Amino acid sequence: MQLRKVCLHPAMFESDENEMNGEELIKSSSKIMLLDKLLPKIQQNGSKVLIFSQFTQMLDILEDYLDYR
């Protein structure tokens, strides 16, 4: 379970993900970095995106990222 968390984002282990600013939130996870590059290209086409996660904590991190962007 811990390996699955570490593959998603380091803030999954820390309770202070709200203290990270937007750029730190993005640069600390390669999956978020990839998402950051893909979303603008997808939105240019007018497409919609649906993101699934088994961890509600990861959805909270994604919410913080989307609020930042």
Are 25 and 65 contacting, i.e. CB atoms less than 8 angstroms apart?
yes
CA–centroid distance for 33 within its chain = 8
* d(C-alpha 14, C-alpha 37), whole Å: 25
**Entry pTM:** 0.80
Q: Return the structure tokens found at 24.
A: 């730190």
pLDDT of residue 34: 94
Mean pLDDT per 10-residue interval, the chain, length 69 residues: 81 66 87 93 92 90 91
Reduced to 3 states, what is the DSSP secondary structure of residue 69? coil
